[in-house]
Each structure stands twice: as structure tokens, then as C-alpha cells.
Amino acid sequence: MDMNQSTLSRKAEDYLEGILISVNEKGYARPRDVVKRMEVSYPSATEMLRKLAEQKLITYEKYGEIKLTSEGLSIASKIKNRHDVFENFLKIILIKNEIAEKDACVLEHHLHPETIRQFSKFVSFIKESRKRPEFLIEFEKYCKK
């Protein structure tokens, strides 16, 4: 049960994550939301929506609202968590927000679970320090040289 995650393509994960964002905002997604967020044409979106529906990761009927099934939600949330981990990490190493956001999308796929776990720990480690760790101050100086 639940072998889908491992066999889901990178793109399918992307779409699922995109759908989650709309669902969080207004309770459902529309093809137009997907089209905008993924920067693809309507036919491309329709095609992927059908596939995701076939795999029971979303509910979707012609001209209808798109929602995540519980399994779809579970997968999308995992991807989104990863995304956040990487985005946070990139900001820590002083990358501009805009770039950090985009590059997190690249990082969030296909890394070994252990790698993701370590990135995640690294971010928590930094964030849990009461004051800004000395080494980050040093690193910032180092970058300016």
C-alpha cells in the first residue's frame, strides 16, 4: 500500500504541490490555477490532471473543482515540507529570496531521504540556536571579502 510516492514522476509531484497551494488558499483548485502556477498550457494541465485523478491523488471531473484525496494530500504535503526546508536552507546560506524560492523547486525532488533529513536537521539546528550562530556571522563576513 502507498507505493505511489516512489513511482510518481518529478512533474507529477510538482503539479500536486501546486494544487496543494491553491487548495490551501481557497479549498480547491481550477485548471486555470494549475496553468498559471506551472506555467504550462491548458492541454498540458488537463492531461496531468487526468493522470493524477486516475491514480486517485486528486478528484477531478470535467469542468469541476480539483481537490486532493487524502493520499494526494499526504504526498503534496511531504513535497511542500521539503520545499520549505530547502528554501530555508538557501536563505541561510544567503541566497536572495526570489532565487531561493525557485531553486528550492529544483532541490525538492529526487534527493535521497537521508539527504533531505540532514538538510532538515541543519535548518532546525540553526533555527533552534537562541542567538544567531557565530559561524553565520563569520560566513557573512567571509562572503563579503
Partner DNA sequence: TAATAATGTTAGGGAAGCCTAAGATTTAAA
Partner DNA sequence: TTTAAATCTTAGGCTTCCCTAACATTATTA
Q: Name which of DNA, a second copy, none residue 1 binds, using a CB cut-off of 5 to 8 Å depending on partner kind.
A: none
Q: Among 130, 57, 135, 61, which residue's Cα sits nearest to residue 92?
A: 135
3-state SS, residue 83 = helix
- Phi, psi of 39, rounded to the nearest 5 degrees: 55, 55
Task: Give min distance, CB of 52 to DNA, in A.
Answer: 9
**The binder of a second copy chosen from 24, 94, 97, 132 (CB under 8 A):** 94
Residue type, 91: K
Residue 49 CA to residue 62 CA, distance in Å, equals 10
At 97, list the grid cell.
529570496
**The binder of a second copy chosen from 3, 61, 114, 131 (CB under 8 A):** 114
Q: Name which of a second copy, DNA, none residue 73 binds, using a CB cut-off of 5 to 8 Å depending on partner kind.
A: none
Task: Give min distance, CB of 84 to DNA, in A.
Answer: 22
Binding residues for DNA, rule: CB under 7 A, are 9-12, 30-32, 35, 38-51, 60, 62-64
